[in-house]
Amino acid sequence: MDSLSRHEDYGSIPLHESHMVADPLAQFAEWLTEAEAFPIYEPNAFVLGTIDDDGRPTARTVLLKGLDEGFLFATNYLSRKGHALDGDNHVTAVFGWYAMHRQVIIEGSATKVSPEESTDYFASRPRGSQVAAWASEQSKPIDSRDALEQQFADAEQRFAGDGEVPRPPHWGGYRIVPTRIEFWKGRSNRMHDRIVYLRTPDGWTVERLQP
């Protein structure tokens, strides 16, 4: 476990207010494009934090599937995260592009996208993923891997043939509308750059935080 005692230097490339665009979603799109080109493995993966019914935070990785006025991801609405969002839709999303010494932290609220939007996205997924959306009751316990394989086989049989697999009603997208977006860039001596955009009634304000 050498990594526990290593001290990486995160370099000298600065993050300066004057280099950043006024709209943080456009700034995010720029960073995501740069992460793709780097290339970062699964650059659209982020850790999504939600609040359970008992007020405790839970987190898991999901994939960003669209970017407009918010950040889109898709999942099972009956999963643990789906139930959490039914009760409290405040979320945090963390993109960790460590090889680039970059991190983006988004705070906001997640709401379901329209059923039409979910259906369109579901139709673009590989058939195996579509079948799996029917086969897996995400976040529920199951007796064995064999039992899970059986559920997949049953779903495959149900949708056998060339016909389309319809979107399950319990599967769809969420849009995270941000209220705060922090862009973090690692620097030497742990003197990192942190630029935060905060949503106000008049648009976005920008401030720099100490590392």
Ligand X SMILES: Cc1cc2nc3c(=O)[nH]c(=O)nc-3n(C[C@H](O)[C@H](O)[C@H](O)COP(=O)(O)O)c2cc1C
Name the residues that contact ligand X, by CB under 6 A: 42, 45, 58, 60-63, 73-76, 79-81, 138-139
**Closest CB 45 distance from ligand X, rounded Å:** 4
73 or 204: CB nearest ligand X? 73
60 or 158: CB nearest ligand X? 60
Q: How far is CA 104 from the centre of its chain?
A: 11
Give the separation between CA 118 and CA 189, rounded to whole angstroms.
45
Are 93 and 180 in contact by the 8 Å Cβ rule? The answer is no
**Closest CB 198 distance from ligand X, rounded Å:** 27
61 or 205: CB nearest ligand X? 61
Q: Retrieve residue 142's tokens.
A: 């199951």
Q: Which residues lie below 8 Å from residue 102, measured CB to CB, with a gap of 6+? A: 31, 35, 183, 184, 185, 186
**Closest CB 164 distance from ligand X, rounded Å:** 21
76 or 92: CB nearest ligand X? 76
Is there a cis peptide before residue 211, judged by omega within 30 degrees of 0?
Answer: no
**Closest CB 46 distance from ligand X, rounded Å:** 9
